[in-house]
Amino acid sequence: MITASKSDAVSQDGLLPDLPNGPLSEYRRKASFNWKDMAMFLEDEDIIAFKNKIFSTLESDPLFYRQPGVDLPLEKYRELTFLRCKKIFEYNFLTFEATMEKPQKMLVLINCLGMYDWSLSTKYFLDTQVFGVAIGNTGSERHETILHQTQNMEIFGCLALTELSHGSNTKAIRTTARFDASTKEFILNSPDFEAAKFWVGNMGKTATHAVVYAQLYTSDGRCHGLHSFVVQIRNPKTLLPMPGVMVGDIGRKLGQNGLDNGFAMFHNVRIPYENLLNRTGDISSSGNYTSAYKDPKQRLGASLGTLSSGRVSIISMVVTNLKLAITIAIRFSATRRQFGPTEKEEIPVLEYQLQQWRLIPYLAAAYALDYFSVGFFFNLIELQIGILMKDRSPRQAELGKEIHALSCAGKPLASWTAQHGAQECREACGGHGFLAMNRLGDIRNDNDPNCTYEGDNNVLLQQTSNYLLGLVQSIHEDNAPCESPLGSIHFLNDYKTILKRKFTASTIRECLDCAVALDAYKWLVCYLLRESHDKLQQEKQRAANDFDARNNSQVYYCRSLALAFIEHTVLQRYYDYTHDPSTPGSLQPVLKKLCCLYGLWSLNKHIAVLYQGGYFAGELPGRIVQDAILDLCAQLKDDAVSLVDAIAPPDFILNSPIAKADGELYKNLWSAVLQGEKVLERPSWWPEFCCNKPVIGKPRSQL
Ligand SMILES: CCCCCCCCCCCCCCCC(=O)SCCNC(=O)CCNC(=O)[C@H](O)C(C)(C)COP(=O)(O)OP(=O)(O)OC[C@H]1O[C@@H](n2cnc3c(N)ncnc32)[C@H](O)[C@@H]1OP(=O)(O)O
Ligand SMILES: Cc1cc2nc3c(=O)[nH]c(=O)nc-3n(C[C@H](O)[C@H](O)[C@H](O)COP(=O)(O)OP(=O)(O)OC[C@H]3O[C@@H](n4cnc5c(N)ncnc54)[C@H](O)[C@@H]3O)c2cc1C
């Protein structure tokens, strides 16, 4: 193990306490790097100190005490989540000034609270950020008071776009907001129960205000499309519904049950006309409608633009889940022994090639996607600054489009990777992975809706492929370069040359250079772009309309294109980072291995297309890619424990007895089981067995 220099060690020790000795120590000794060096490379001192402050505050507050795996009744869980949310307001971990100084702290706070409990994190951020950002992005100065009221919890917010019968198809939202010139108000109506707002987080029990998306009608009866409005739905003094509002809770979900998702119907609800969030379209007091966006399609895009910030943040949230799950599975696998070369000696299950192949690629994915998520968040901040500064330059517009395209594929890639990873980790921990107290079930179930909310993954991917297909014309006209603010499409300028390339590596050793996977990805994206474009043209000739043509070009074409494109982007960014000369020499070898493993493992899922399109030929490419994956897993297995140590939260936050930092798997699990409520008591219904014996074959009357 390589150790830190003396001065580094001093600052590290304050921020990153030593991990306890125990059954994990052997793996820790075998690591090729110092986990503290890694932790301090991944995040700077200020961020680590900020995380420590959040974690230690929660741990020392009795309100945040919890027993692993305890299933609270719904009402109790909602109440507790609300009380904790209120406490987060009191702690005020992140002031406005601190956010402005270092915006990424917002993401850190979302994730730290999420690591503790996602219901708490989403509750808090739906109010303070999702509601707040929607107002900030699409409103104007006249809405500032509402933002202030949110910050000190005078009011509580939510974002209501989805309706009972429409979610993805936002154009078809049916709630109406009609301007009444006589009173200078909008009147909101839900035409019927199918147009009730539905699924809205915080709306079930707590929200007093909602950003409501509705079709705007002027008094001449013209519809100007989807706009957003601030609507008061409950009285903040009583939490009772406002006149004309029917609001309720949609009930128990598959996860995140501390959060109250709700519905609302509006019956002639009057709001001042100033409550229109007027960035994309405005109405004068006399009722004249104006908009800078003449094209209704562009206007729709602009009013939905605010969703991008949620999607970008979700990428980081799901990577956090992957980090939690993989920490649990790796620590468990390093301490769980099963079978061995001799009857006397059993080996940790992490020593099995099969276990390594199931887990270590997810560890690599956690590192690569984490890096992407943070960098991409900075890109979002740049976009946000432009929005707030009212930047109307072409670059700002292009940045919005590129972030939309990347987030519409980034969220699917990351949320699915976390979802599959959490399930693999659950199974990798065998039966103990299925015990609620070990938390893998909660991680999986709380992660799951990320595949759906802020846009269904499969629907969103179509936005990314649309963006790429829109570039085909410039690609064919050589004098119109493919350019974008973040550079994600620059490589398409070499489209024609890239398509002529073939896989040239002939040994496993050559494949261990990450550039091999990166080159293959460049070819894959170009190939899928060409094939998707051709497929779409063929379908257009065959199908009755463009709608059918597009739908029939998704499977194996546009969908794969969007995923390959985002995988390429993630890999390219991670490659540049791990190969940067400023990356410490002591960490570079392990980081490069992670990069290479993530690249080859992801690429391996496209192997059929690589053969189909002729980039791979013969049995060698497929074989050496697979052998290289196994080789990298074997090389990384002694680093795996230290790699999770560098990203794991403290035990109190991780909250999984099988994965505590001391590695005392059995002692911790046994003690958690014995501390369970009534664990050694006979059941209260014991006489049902002992006295009231059944008469076999004769059910008793229930009366
Ligand atoms: C600092 C931050 C902190 C944040 C802190 C986070 C905390 C995190 C807690 C999260 C907790 C979960 C909270 C769940 C909250 C919900 O789930 S809210 C509800 C979310 N609902 C959705 O996302 C609905 C999904 N559907 C849609 O967004 C859109 O309708 C679709 C599917 C993207 C487009 O549908 P369509 O009718 O086919 O329209 P389409 O013709 O493709 O689009 C029109 C144009 O607009 C453009 N466009 C559409 N959307 C956009 C956009 N967003 N941007 C730019 N352009 C766009 C299109 O690209 C297109 O442009 P052109 O191609 O014409 O140039
Ligand atoms: C936990 C949770 C919290 C939520 N919070 C909020 C919130 O705070 N505010 C809010 O407004 N909404 C919220 N939502 C709603 C969420 O945004 C929607 O569920 C989401 O946008 C998907 O819409 P939908 O449920 O109507 O699915 P649908 O659009 O009905 O999709 C159903 C299925 O059809 C497929 N499909 C649809 N269209 C196509 C197509 N064109 N091509 C191919 N397949 C297609 C989809 O892939 C999906 O599998 C939340 C949802 C959940 C689960």
Query: Are residues 229 and 211 in contact, defined by beta-carbon separation less than 8 angstroms?
Result: yes
Q: Is 453 in the pocket of ligand 1 (CB under 6 A)?
A: yes
Mean pLDDT computed over 490-502 = 96
Rounded mean pLDDT, 132-159 = 92
Q: Is the pLDDT of residue 351 over 60?
A: yes
Cα of 311 vs centre of ligand 2, distance in Å, is: 13
The residue behind tokens 């990356």 is 583
Q: What's the mean pLDDT in 498-523?
A: 97
Q: Which atom of ligand 2 is nearest to the CA of 158?
A: 8
- Does 110 contact ligand 1 (Cβ within 6 A)? yes
Q: Say yes or no: CB of residue 168 within 6 Å of ligand 2.
A: yes
What pLDDT is recorded for position 294?
83
Nearest ligand (C-alpha, residue 171): 1
Residue 108 has pLDDT above 60, yes or no: yes
- Compute the average pLDDT of residues 201-215: 98
| Beta carbons of 518 and 575 less than 8 angstroms apart | yes
Percent of the chain scored above 90 by pLDDT?
A: 89
DSSP 578-638: HT-TTS-TTTHHHHHHHHHHHHHHHHHTTHHHHHHTTSS-SHHHHHHHHHHHHHHHHHHTT
Question: Given this model, what pLDDT does residue 424 score?
Answer: 98
pLDDT of 540-577, one tens digit each?
A: 999 779 999 999 999 999 999 999 999 999 999 999 99
pLDDT digits (tens, 9 = 90+) for 451-477: 999 999 999 999 999 999 999 988 877
Phi, psi of 608 (to 5 degrees): -60, -45
Residue 503 has pLDDT above 50, yes or no: yes
SS3 173: coil
Q: What pLDDT does 2 receive?
A: 46
pLDDT at 269: 98
Kindly give the number of the ligand 1 atom that is closest to the alpha carbon of 400. 55
Rounded to an integer, the average pLDDT of 497-525 is 97
Would the CB of 137 count as within 6 Å of ligand 1?
no
**What band does 297 get if pLDDT is binned at 50, 70 and 90?**
confident
pLDDT band at 301 (very low <50, low <70, confident <90, very high): confident
Mean pLDDT in residue range 253-267: 98
Categorize the per-residue pLDDT at 413 as very low, low, confident or very high, splitting at 50, 70 and 90: very high
551 lines ligand 1 (CB under 6 A): no
- The values of phi and psi at residue 511, to 5°, are -65, -20
Q: What pLDDT does 9 receive?
A: 57
Task: Indicate the pairing of strand 176-180 with strand 209-217.
Answer: parallel
Of 81, 127, 168, 552, the one to substitute when testing ligand 2's pocket (max ligand atoms within 8 A of C-beta) is: 168
Ligand 1 centre distance from Cα of residue 404 (Å): 8
Report the nearest atom of ligand 1 relative to the CA of 171.
37
Q: How confident is the model at residue 304 (pLDDT cuts 50, 70, 90)?
A: confident
Percent of the chain's residues with pLDDT above 70: 97
The mean pLDDT of the chain is 95
Read off the pLDDT band of 702 (50, 70, 90).
low
Mean pLDDT calculated for residue range 272-300: 90
Q: Which residues are catalytic?
A: 454
Ligand 1 pocket mutation, candidates 99, 126, 162, 304, criterion most atoms within 8 A of CB: 304
**CB 3 within 8 Å of CB 34:** yes
Q: Which ligand is nearest to the CA of 448?
A: 2
User: Does position 652 have pLDDT exceeding 70, yes or no?
Assistant: yes
pLDDT of residue 295: 85
What is the mean predicted confidence (pLDDT) over 340-368?
97
Average pLDDT over residues 356-376: 98
Find the ligand nearest to 304 CA: 1
Q: For ligand 2, is residue 452 a contact (CB within 6 Å)?
A: yes
Cβ–ligand 2 distance for 663 under 6 Å, the answer no
Name the amino acid, one letter, at 453: Y
**What's the pLDDT score for residue 691?**
94
Confidence (pLDDT) at 3:
47
What pLDDT is stored for residue 478 in this prediction?
67
Asked if pLDDT for residue 232 goes beyond 90, the answer is yes
User: Please, which pLDDT band fits residue 40 given cuts at 50, 70 and 90?
Assistant: very high
Nearest CA to ligand 2 atom 12: 162
Does the Cβ of 449 fall within 6 Å of ligand 1? no
Name the pLDDT band for 306 (thresholds 50, 70, 90): confident
Secondary structure (DSSP) of 438-486: G-HHHHHHHHGGGGTTTS-HHHHHHHHHHHHHTTHHHHHSTTS----TT
Quick: pLDDT tens for 611-638: 999 999 999 999 999 999 999 999 999 9
Is 112 in contact with 51 (CB distance < 8 Å)? yes
Q: Does residue 80 carry a pLDDT above 90? A: yes
Atom of ligand 2 nearest to the CA of 161: 11
CA of 253 to the centre of ligand 2 (A): 14
| Predicted confidence (pLDDT) per residue in 562-571, tens digit | 999 999 999 9
Cβ(170) – ligand 1 distance below 6 Å: yes
Q: How confident is the model at residue 136 (pLDDT cuts 50, 70, 90)?
A: confident
Tell which atom from ligand 1 comes closest to the C-alpha of 408: 33
Ligand nearest the Cα of residue 401 is: 1
pLDDT reported for residue 480: 75
pLDDT at 171: 94
Q: What is the pLDDT of residue 6?
A: 52
The pLDDT of residue 1 is above 90: no
Range with the poorest average pLDDT among 210-224, 298-312, 352-366: 298-312
Mean pLDDT computed over 388-413:
95
**CB-ligand 2 contact for 201 (6 Å cutoff):** yes
Residue type, 640: A
Q: Which ligand is nearest to the CA of 212?
A: 2
- Average pLDDT (315-344) is 97
| Ligand 1 binding pocket includes 605 (Cβ within 6 Å) | no
Mutate-to-test residue for ligand 1 from 94, 161, 463, 546, highest number of ligand atoms within 8 A of CB: 463
Q: What is the pTM of this model?
A: 0.97
Which residues, 6 or more positions from 473, have their beta carbon under 8 angstroms from its beta carbon? 480
Residue 207: the pLDDT is 98
The confidence band for 292, taking pLDDT boundaries of 50, 70 and 90, is confident
Is pLDDT larger for residue 305 or for residue 182? 182
* Ligand 2 pocket, mutate which of 119, 161, 199 (most atoms under 8 A from CB): 199
